[in-house]
Amino acid sequence: MTKPPVIALLGGTFDPIHNGHLLSAQELKAVLAADEFRFIPCHRPPHRATPGVSSQQRLAMVELAIAGKPGLSVDGRELQRDQLSYTIDTLIELRREYGEHAVLCWVMGVDAFCHLDTWHRWQELLDYAHIIVMARPEATLPTQGPVAELLAAHQVETVAVLLQQPAGQLLLQTLTPYPISATAIRQAFREGKRPSQALPEPVLNYIEQHQLYRSE
Ligand code: ATP
């Protein structure tokens, strides 16, 4: 049998996408030997205020950020659904498209993972994909409650074990920490600064051309 494809999926608001997202994605893609690392911008995030910058503009910035980077792609499907963007709906669609053998890995930061039990139909996510938590060396994970129980039931220790199944397992993967946040970037623009170290140049140019993040 031919080796099934390994697809990593990173959802987020990407308001804006920054070098922390990109460098972590490239590092994780290499760790997984993934065929593709796909960014999935969220149209209407269920757990936070709808961003001030439009979904189309956030998608455009992701497109600019990944242009010319092999193996990175963007998937705008959540923008087609004029409803709250639930990860479970996206995973069900992707599983249908890729078939039962593909290894699908939903990727998230520790901060997002700690609140996984507030996500719509969160217990079903592992039916469709693995979950990979991008951990920092000092990351604190819950030790009790539903997320801790999910970890205890599904955690595997190595990528090699994870890749033996198409879905259903949880991996904490320590990556190089990049202390960059979209919140800090938006704040910097509001203060009239130019956070050029934190952003790919085409994204920086796009933000300036469209005068994004100038006000609340
Ligand atoms: P904000 O500051 O607006 O909350 P964010 O980058 O945390 O921005 P998203 O754009 O939704 O929010 O992030 C997408 C995913 O990337 C999340 O799972 C988040 O944990 C992760 N992430 C964010 N910043 C970094 C970083 N510097 N390094 C690695 N992962 C990150």
User: Which pLDDT value is given to residue 25?
Assistant: 97
pLDDT along the chain (216 residues), means of 10: 92 96 97 98 77 89 97 94 88 98 97 94 98 86 95 98 98 94 95 96 97 85
Give yes or no for a contact between 19 and 199, defined as CB atoms under 8 angstroms apart. Answer: yes
CA of 17, closest atom in ligand 1: 10
182 close to ligand 1 (CB < 6 Angstrom): yes
- Which pLDDT tens digit goes with each residue over 161-205? 999 999 999 999 999 999 999 999 999 999 999 999 999 999 999
> What ipTM was estimated for this complex?
0.95
Cα 74 to Cα 110: distance, rounded to the nearest angstrom: 22
Pair of tokens at residue 63? 């497109």
| Span from the CA of 2 to the centroid of ligand 1 (angstroms) | 34
180 close to ligand 1 (CB < 6 Angstrom): yes
Pocket test residue of 115, 134, 138 for ligand 1, highest count of atoms within 8 A of CB: 134
